Chain A
Amino acid sequence: MDTPKTILLVEDDVFLRDLLAKKVGLEGFDIISASSGADAFSKCGDVVPSLVLLDLLLPDMNGLEVLKRFREDERLKDVPVLILSNIDQEADKIEAKRLGVEGFMVKSDVLPQEIINKIREIFSL
């Protein structure tokens, strides 16, 4: 049997984080939650996630900055990243695309199931 995929969820809103973590967990993925950019890097100290679900407006840094640092890190540079944000400015989308994200989803426009479908698509499941 394949090793379960580990998903890092970087989201500062505790309610949204818990709701999505529950759904992702119910779908059989291992989930690690982080509430800030620094927390995300700290959690990656022990494990390289199979996918990062990344919010853009974080308390300590912009999600795009987190993404840039992932891309500059030898261990983490190839980890797929899916942006989940309620800010959908064109400039952010262009920059995220330039940094090679798997997708950009507006949280208020999608259901958790649609995020799961996208995750499955990324993992080719």
Chain B
Amino acid sequence: MSMLVGDGLTHRFGSEPAIDNVDLVLDTGEHMAVLGDNGAGKTTLLRILATALRPTSGKLTIAGLDAFRERRRIRHYLGYVAHAPGLYPALSARENLEFFCDLQDVDRSRVAEAMETVGLASVSHRRAAELSRGMQQRLAIGRAILHDPRLLILDEPDASLGADAADLLAGLMRGRTAVLATHDHALANRLCPRTLVLRHGRSLGTATHLRVVR
């Protein structure tokens, strides 16, 4: 059963397409990596998959629902880690997550769990502005799993994470359908059986166990 079907996804900023006619299919429980250089369109594609951005043309179906029309429903079980953490700097790590628990209509006990999972339990009282980039990234990841989403969209989460990134992400993605954008080919290969490669907004196709020869 397909969790995610993208058909001819195109997005233009002005007249230049950031992504051009991308097709993809993701089955439930599958993990897919999106690879590509800077400017290839990874972030745009992921924003579209996360329903944060509506493509100029093309159709996206998530769990059988039209991603745009039913985006409120879909967001109940979608977790998105964006490129920028989007945290509130003056609030503590815990307060940030508690706020989002309230918005997600999820019990606040989830905050402690999420903090444990991303390894931030010891700094929960510290203000988000005082956290390192890597910790902020972890906090953003923690926020994305508060509501126990079935589908995870992760935009370069490993960028500041450090050595245990692979383990952390593997744990997060277990049991969930996931799309992961990254520069790190080794990480992509380790975590995701399938890979989609973007170049200049176009998909070069998806493959299993892609090895990019340079």
Decide whether A and B are members of one complex: no
